[in-house]
Amino acid sequence: MKESMIFPREEKTEILFQKILEDPWACEKLQETFCNSCLCGEETDEVFSPDQFSKALFTAYQNRDLSAFLMEICRNTMFDLLRNACLIPYRFDADGIKNPVIMTDGQGRLLLEYSSVAHEKEYRHFEEVYQRLGAGRKMYFAKAYRYSHCYDSHMEVEQQILEKNTGVLLIHELPDTVKKKETEAQAYAAVWDLMAKLEKNLPMAFVFYGQDTLMENNKTYDEIGIFLPNSHFLKNLERHVAKAEAILYG
């Protein structure tokens, strides 16, 4: 039987999965995210007709495509579930859509194109904190969202935005895993301990990761981004930034 998977399996996931299995906190987060994402019958009927649902379900089975099956029952691929359980990072600019959107320059100044859409009060607070902490750091006023994937009415896969926020983005460069010929799953495993520590100390933060996406002095690096949504971190922002940076650089 010829396999035609909608979501090809990620390669070399063993180390990443083992790290999750060894951490009771991570297993609990994964189970909770799955249960909260499962659709009831009424919601399913609003998205698919019975024949569309059955066809997609059988295709997922025939092609041994776990992510396609998970899309049927909880609107998440395997890696969507891990991201939304805060067990792996979100991709920078996933599916070709800019996310996060950086609204300030390297000196903390609001970029002209965002002057009319930025929340002025929140930006002024960011600016004050930025100046107190010291200019020159990779700290930006930004917009970001959490996402998963779902089927549209034609059974085509599309990105689904779960939550939008304005907040503060911290960026830190990491070794280039592409040059090491590591897969995305291996890169996630390499930053697992760092990400778990960030999530346990700063719950509700978004973590982003990009393979070979940061360019400095004509060299490319991987990068990790910590996004602190204003809805959770605006109060005592300076303390939260300091805590995140201590973990990043510690």
Q: Whose CA is closest to 221, among 170, 174, 169, 172?
A: 174
In sequence order, the β-bridge partners of residue 23 are: none
Residue with tokens 């100044």: 109
Q: Quick: pLDDT tens for 97-116.
A: 999 999 999 899 999 999 88
Q: Which two tokens stand for residue 128?
A: 């004050």
Q: Is the pLDDT of residue 2 over 50?
A: no
Listed by start position, the domains of the chain span 14-249
Sign of CA dihedral 244, 93, 14, 215: negative
Q: Which two tokens stand for residue 70?
A: 């998970």
pTM above 0.85, yes or no: no
- At residue 242's C-alpha, the angle toward residues 164 and 194, to 5°, is 75
8 A C-beta contact, residue 30 and residue 83 = no
Q: Is the pLDDT of residue 117 over 80?
A: no
- Distance between CA atoms of 49 and 250, rounded to whole angstroms? 52
Mean pLDDT on 128-144:
88
- Distance between CA atoms of 172 and 191, rounded to whole angstroms? 12
Specify the pLDDT at position 42: 44
Residue 59 binned pLDDT confidence (cut-offs 50, 70, 90): confident
Mean per-residue pLDDT over the chain, rounded? 82
Specify the pLDDT at position 12: 81
Mean pLDDT on 195-203:
92
Mean pLDDT on 173-195:
78
Could you give the dihedral angle defined by the CA atoms of residues 122, 127, 129 and 132, in that order, rounded to the nearest 10 degrees?
A: -160
Q: Which two tokens stand for residue 34?
A: 């799955």
